[in-house]
C-alpha cells in the first residue's frame, strides 16, 4: 500500500449485539414508526434509506431514531469530496450508528467522508450493489466479475480509514480473513423460499452470518410479510441459532 491508512477514530463504538437490521423502505413517518415498533423486539438496528429520507426528511429520521434502536442511515452518498463531506456534516446531528458512501467515489471522496464523519458513527462503503450480477457489472464497463471488484473497492475503503463495506455474503469470507475488525454489512438476505425480487447476489441469514457478516440487512422478507413482527422474529431466531455464542 502506497500510503498508510489515516489514524482510526478512537471513540467507543459499541458492537451491534444483534446483527439483524431491518430496512424500513416506506414513504411516511407513520408507516416507518409502525413497522419499526413491530420489529423492534427482534431487531438490533433499523435502516432508513433513500425512499424514507427523501419522503420524510431529517425530522422523519429523528422520529424513527426515537424508537431507541441504532440507526443505519443508508444514503449511499456518491459525489465530489466537498459535497459528500458537507452532506455528512449535515447528517451528523442525527447520530446514525452506521452511515454509508459509495466506494466508487474514489480515494479523495472516501478520505473526505472519513474526516467529516462523527467518530461514533461507523462509516462503511458500498462496493458492488447486491442487485448487480457479473453481466450487469460488465454493462457498466467493469469486467472480471463482482468478487475482484468488491475486493478492490474494499481495499480502497480500508486504506481510506473506513470501518467496513457493504457487499454480498459471497464476498465476505475473503475480505474478513484479512480485515478482522472490518464491519461487513450484507443486504440481499433471503430466508429459504423468499423471492429474490430485484436482488441478484442473495444468501440466507445463517449463511451470511457464517461467512462473517456483521450486519444483516433485511427488507421485504420482513416488511412485505403478512405479519412483519413474526417474520422478524423467525429471522432473528435463525440468526441466534446460527451464532456460536448466541444469547
Ligand atoms: O427488500 P430487501 O431485503 O431487498 O432490501 C434490501 C435493502 O438494503 C434495501 O433497503 C436496499 O436499498 C439496501 N441495500 C442493498 N444493497 C446495497 C446496499 C443497500 O440492497 N448494496
Residue owning the nearest CA to atom 8 of ligand 1: 187
The angle formed by the CA atoms of residues 111, 165 and 97, to the nearest 5 degrees, is 80
Q: Which of 13, 47, 76, 200 is catalytic?
A: 76
Confidence bin at 93 (pLDDT 50/70/90): very high
Distance CA 164, CA 184 (A): 6
Which grid cell is 124? 462503511
pLDDT one-digit tens code per residue, 124-134: 999 999 999 99
pLDDT one-digit tens code per residue, 177-231: 999 999 999 999 999 999 999 999 999 999 999 999 999 999 999 999 999 999 9
The helix/strand count (H/E) of the chain reads as 10, 8
Mean pLDDT of the chain: 93
Crossing angle for the helix pair 107-116 and 81-91, to the nearest 10 degrees: 20
pLDDT (mean) for 150-156: 98
Mutate to test the pocket of ligand 1, among 39, 75, 169, 188 (most ligand atoms within 8 A of CB): 188
Topology, domain 20-246: TIM Barrel (3.20.20)
* 168 Cβ inside 6 Å of ligand 1: no
* 18 Cβ inside 6 Å of ligand 1: no
* 127 Cβ inside 6 Å of ligand 1: no
Give the pLDDT score at 16.
75
Decide: residue 227, CB within 10 A, 0-12 exposed, 13-18 middle, 19+ buried. Answer: exposed
Q: How far is the CA of 110 from the centre of ligand 1 (A)?
A: 21
Using a pLDDT cut of 90, give the percent of the chain over it. 90
> What pTM value is reported for the model?
0.93
Helix (H), strand (E) at residue 49? strand 45-49
* 81 Cβ inside 6 Å of ligand 1: no
* 167 Cβ inside 6 Å of ligand 1: no
Q: How far is the CA of 188 from the centre of ligand 1 (A)?
A: 6
Distance CA 56, CA 39 (A): 20
pLDDT one-digit tens code per residue, 95-128: 999 999 999 999 999 999 999 999 999 999 999 9
Of residues 100 and 9, the one with the higher pLDDT is 100
Which grid cell is 244? 456460536
CB 127 within 8 A of CB 100: no
Residue owning the nearest CA to atom 13 of ligand 1: 187
Distance CA 227, CA 48 (A): 20
Coil, helix or strand for 114? helix
* 171 Cβ inside 6 Å of ligand 1: no
Contacts of 227 (CB under 8 A, 6+ apart): none
Give the pLDDT score at 247.
41
Q: Catalytic annotation on 47? A: no
Q: What is residue 211's DSSP assignment? A: H
Distance CA 7, CA 4 (A): 9
pLDDT one-digit tens code per residue, 31-48: 999 999 999 999 999 999
Give the pLDDT score at 7.
39
* 165 Cβ inside 6 Å of ligand 1: no
Q: How far is the CA of 143 from the centre of ligand 1 (A)?
A: 23
Cα-Cα-Cα-Cα torsion 21, 117, 142, 140, nearest 10 degrees, comes to 80
Q: How far is the CA of 3 from the centre of ligand 1 (A)?
A: 32
Residue owning the nearest CA to atom 19 of ligand 1: 187
From the CA of 100, give the closest atom in ligand 1: 18
- The residue to which cell 423502505 is assigned: 25
Amino acid at each position: 500500500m502506497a500510503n498508510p491508512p489515516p489514524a482510526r477514530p478512537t471513540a467507543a463504538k459499541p458492537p451491534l449485539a444483534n446483527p439483524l437490521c431491518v430496512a424500513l423502505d416506506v414513504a411516511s413517518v407513520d408507516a416507518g414508526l409502525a413497522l419499526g415498533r413491530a420489529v423492534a423486539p427482534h431487531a438490533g438496528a433499523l435502516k432508513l434509506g433513500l425512499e424514507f429520507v427523501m419522503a420524510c426528511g431529517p425530522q422523519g429520521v429523528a422520529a424513527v431514531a426515537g424508537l431507541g434502536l441504532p440507526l443505519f442511515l443508508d444514503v449511499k452518498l456518491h459525489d465530489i469530496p466537498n459535497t459528500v463531506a458537507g452532506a455528512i456534516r449535515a447528517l451528523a446531528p442525527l447520530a446514525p450508528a452506521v452511515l454509508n458512501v459509495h466506494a466508487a467515489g474514489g480515494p479523495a471522496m472516501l478520505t473526505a467522508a472519513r474526516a467529516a464523519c462523527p467518530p461514533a458513527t461507523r462509516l462503511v462503503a458500498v462496493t458492488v450493489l447486491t442487485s448487480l450480477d457479473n453481466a450487469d457489472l460488465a454493462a457498466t464497463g467493469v469486467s472480471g466479475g463482482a468478487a475482484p471488484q468488491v475486493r478492490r473497492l474494499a481495499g480502497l475503503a480500508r486504506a481510506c480509514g473506513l470501518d467496513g463495506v457493504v457487499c454480498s455474503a459471497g464476498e465476505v469470507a475473503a475480505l474478513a480473513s484479512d480485515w478482522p475488525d472490518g464491519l461487513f454489512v450484507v443486504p440481499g438476505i433471503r430466508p429459504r423460499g423468499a423471492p429474490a425480487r430485484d436482488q441478484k447476489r442473495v444468501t440466507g441469514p445463517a449463511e451470511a452470518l457464517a461467512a462473517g457478516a456483521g450486519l444483516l440487512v433485511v427488507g421485504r422478507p420482513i416488511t412485505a410479510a403478512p405479519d412483519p413482527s413474526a417474520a422478524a422474529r423467525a429471522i432473528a431466531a435463525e440468526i441466534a441459532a446460527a451464532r456460536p455464542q448466541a444469547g
